Each structure stands twice: as C-alpha cells, then as structure tokens.
Structure 1
Amino acid sequence: MRDPEAFIRAQTAIARPALVPEIPLHLATEITPIWQATEAWLQQEGIEPPFWAFAWPGSQAMARLILDDPARAAGRRVLDFAAGCGLAAISAAKAGAALVEAAEIDPLALAATRVNAALNGVAVATPAGDVVGAACRWDLILAGDVCYEAPMTGHILPWLRAMAAAGAEVWLADPGRAYVPREGLLEVARFEVPTTRELEDRDSRRVTISRLLP
C-alpha cells in the first residue's frame, strides 16, 4: 500500500516560510517537479496543482496574526479550511486552541498537514471529505486564499457566510484574488508577504485578513 506521508517527505525539504519562520514545514521550491512527481505517484495526469507543497500568502498572514496574538485562537475550536500544507492550523494549535481541524478535499494535502503537524509537535485532526454543507462546530474558521476561481468561490462562500451566521468567526485572507467578495467584510489586519515567482507574478503580496459577516 502506498504511503502518502512518505511520498511527501521524499519529495519536499524542510523549510521555513518567510513571514512565519517559527514554523518549519515540508515544502517544495519549484512547482513543475512536484506536480510531475505527484502525477506519477498517483498514476494520473491532469491533476490540480499540488497546493499542499507551498506556504501560500494567505496562510502565512493568518499564521502570523495568530502567533502574534495567540488569544485569537486560544481555547477555541478552529477549522483551517482549504488548509493546503496546514500552516494556519499549526499556528492555531501552537496558540493553544482547544481543537484544530484541517479541511481539504485533496488526500495528499491532508497527509501534508499531518506530516507538518508532527514536525511541529502539535495535534491537528484531518477528517476526510468536503466539509462544505456541514453544520457549524467551530468557533474560528480560517480561510486563506480561497477566492481565486469563480466556481470555487460560488461553492464555498454561501457556506462560510452561513457559518458566520451560526456564530463562528470566519476569516478570509486574500492576497488580491479576482473573486473575493467586495461587501460583507470587516478588515482585521494587513501583511506584506514575500512570495516566489514560482507561484506569483511578483515578489510580494499584500494580504488583507477580513472577518466575513453573515
């Protein structure tokens, strides 16, 4: 039986995100080799990019905010939605959250989160499947860089607003993507996040963290 966690360890190197050097992660440095390796390992072509192999600007900004102000997550039930490598989830666990879950529809992303959580000595639950449509069981939902495509935004935004209406504090961390909502947001913080030309068309992204209103 193939071991996704062993695959991730073999195909990445331990690195520290520019904005959150306190948290080491198993990361790739180039998009094409890890993408090709993932397709070969899955024996499947035309897959989505391996988002789990990089520390994206939105997740870095949320992690920085939480580590700088741990009370935002301490004692709370936290969901890292579309978690990628699990960076925001790990920061919440380090801040003393009562429970941390990472949600992803990509099983390799969940495996990456487990590998990275173990590297940092924290507990992050990784339930399988799409949580969109689930009843609210969290106090804080972290959604980093999720509004980059119209279908994705249309699928998740009504649910995230429903979570806010149910009492959760929902953060959107947006680095200037096209489909972020223009209304119903309350700005919380801004960060300038160094980026790589492997992923972005510039050397840094200004990330705005906003609270999503019901």
Structure 2
Amino acid sequence: MDGLQLSCARLVPEVRLFLAEDPTILWARLEASAGHRISAPFWATAWGGGQAVARYILDAPETVAGRRVLDLGSGSGLVAIAAALAGASVVVANDIDPYAHTAIRANARVNGVHIDPLSTDLLDLTPEAVLDIGADVVLAGDACYTDQLAERALPFLLMAARLDTLVLVGDPGRGRIPSRDWQVVMTYPVSPMSGEDSQLTAASVLTPRNQDARR
C-alpha cells in the first residue's frame, strides 16, 4: 500500500515491519478508501513500549522459549514476531482493529514466522477465560496509551499475573502505570514519537511486583 515502507524499529533491527512514512497521511488515505471514519492506524507505527518488550524478549529468550504467548493489543505484531523469533511455541496476536490483522500477517510473513491473529476484545473476558486460550505468557507492548484503556488493561493484566501467568508490559513513561503495582525490569532509550509521545525518550519493560520476569 502507498504510504507504507518496509523498515526496522531502532531498538529491534532483527524485525522488519511495514510502517507508515507519515501516519496522518496514511490515515487519510485509508479513510478515503474505506469511505467512512476508521480508527487511527496505530498498527503502522513501532511504538516505544512495544520496542522495549520486543528487545527484552529477544535478549532474554528464556522468558518465552517453548511457551504459549499472547500479545495483547498487538498492533504491527512487533512483539508477537519477536516472541516467535525467540522460540515461543505458539504466538497469538490480539488486536480489535481489522487493519492490524492484515499488518500482522504481512509482517509475520516477511519475518518468516507464524502468528495467529485474534480479534476478540479480551479485556471484556476474565483472565481465566483468556487462560483457556492456553497462554503461559501475556505481553502488552503499549496497552496504556489512553486513560480509558489503562483503566481496563491494568486490572486485567494484574489478575492474569495472579493466575501464575508471566506478564510483561511496555511503558514509554506516560505516567499511567502505578509503581505501587509494577516494577521495572529493563529500560531502553527510544526515539521520540509524534503527539503525546514527542517528549518521551525512554521506554521500560515492567512486570507486576513479586513476579520474576525470567522464571
């Protein structure tokens, strides 16, 4: 599609992605093609939180190797692809945007890995129901980019951790993830993004307190 180019995120040069040359222009083109309003193409940007989680699991593959992984709010599929490259046995990439599913399939194909897209809004389910999917590890590269989403995602992720699921979350420092519940595993420098993220230059990988990120 015009407006996308195959490139690599700064922190994760091992993974190639179809990313927007200009997200605003791409959004306008997609809406013109669809003939109606659509969600912003978040799947066409390698967000800082996702880059941090992807970098971490590629550097510490034992976190996912041989395990069944769920990538919550997958977007481009960056984190899911990194999990597959790190040796996960099964990777499910969850996103409610149908355009994201197309991007995930294309990006997985160009990286030579298999990803299973899932469109269900998992935040409407209980963590027990999600565990029925068979996830040993839940990854959320950038699931708290609005207050409303953070209010839904964070309790869900903490409950999943209490059910003995390994949970890793990316946080570019937007201030929506309370330190009382989460601890920093690793922090990486990232290139500033546009809009709200223009002043953010680092992203961290977080895990719930009292959880061993490499268990």
1:162 Cα offset (Å) = 1.5
Residues 13-162 of structure 1 aligned to structure 2 (within 5 Å):
13-45=5-37, 47-132=38-123, 133=125, 134-136=129-131, 137-162=134-159
| Distance in structure 2 (CA, Å) of the matches to 1:41 and 1:123 | 29
In 2, distance between residues paired with 1:11 and 1:42? 16
Q: Which runs of 5+ in 2 are unaligned?
A: none
Query: 1:12·1:26 contact (CA, 8 Å) conserved in 2?
Result: yes
2:12 and 2:65 map into 1 onto residues whose CA distance is 18
Matched letter for residue 78 of structure 1:
V
For normalisation by structure 1, the TM-score amounts to 0.89
8 A contact 1:149–1:178 mirrored in 2: no
| Structure 1 position 25, deviation (Å) | 0.6
Alignment partner of 1:205 out of 197, 201, 207: 201
> 2:171 is matched with which residue?
174
Partners of 2:197 and 2:157 lie apart in 1 by: 26
- CA RMSD, Structure 1 to Structure 2 (Å): 1.7
Shift of 1:77: 0.8
Whole-angstrom distance in 2 between the partners of 1:197 and 1:127: 28
Letter in 2 for 1:81: L
Deviates more, 1:181-190 or 1:106-115: 181-190
Post-superposition offset of 1:197: 4.0
- 1:123 aligns to what SS in structure 2? coil
For residues 199 and 13 of structure 1, what CA distance do their matches in structure 2 show? 23
Give the distance between the partners of 1:16 and 1:174, measured in 2 at CA. 20
Distance 2:196 2:2 in 1: 21
Q: Distance in 2 between matches of 1:178 and 1:184?
A: 13
Q: d(CA) in 1 for partners of 2:102 and 2:32? A: 17
List gaps (5 residues or longer) in structure 1: 1-8
Q: 1:110 to 1:141 in 2, by over 3 A?
A: same
Q: Percent identity at matched positions?
A: 38
**TM superposition shift of 1:10:** 4.2
Amino acid at match of 1:151: Q
How many Å separate the matches in 2 of 1:135 and 1:18? 32
Length-normalised TM-score, structure 2: 0.88
Change (3 A) 1:135 1:24: closer
Quick check: 165-174 or 145-154, which moved more? 145-154
Q: Give the Cα–Cα distance (whole angstroms) in 2 for the partners of residues 199 and 161 of structure 1.
A: 26
Pairing partner for 1:192 from 189, 193, 197 = 189
Rate the CA distance shift 1:114–1:177 in 2: closer, same or farther, 3 A. same
| 1:118 to partner: Cα distance | 0.4
Which position in structure 2 is the counterpart of 1:5? none
Give the deviation of 1:198 after TM superposition: 6.7
Q: Which moved more, 1:128-137 or 1:170-179?
A: 128-137
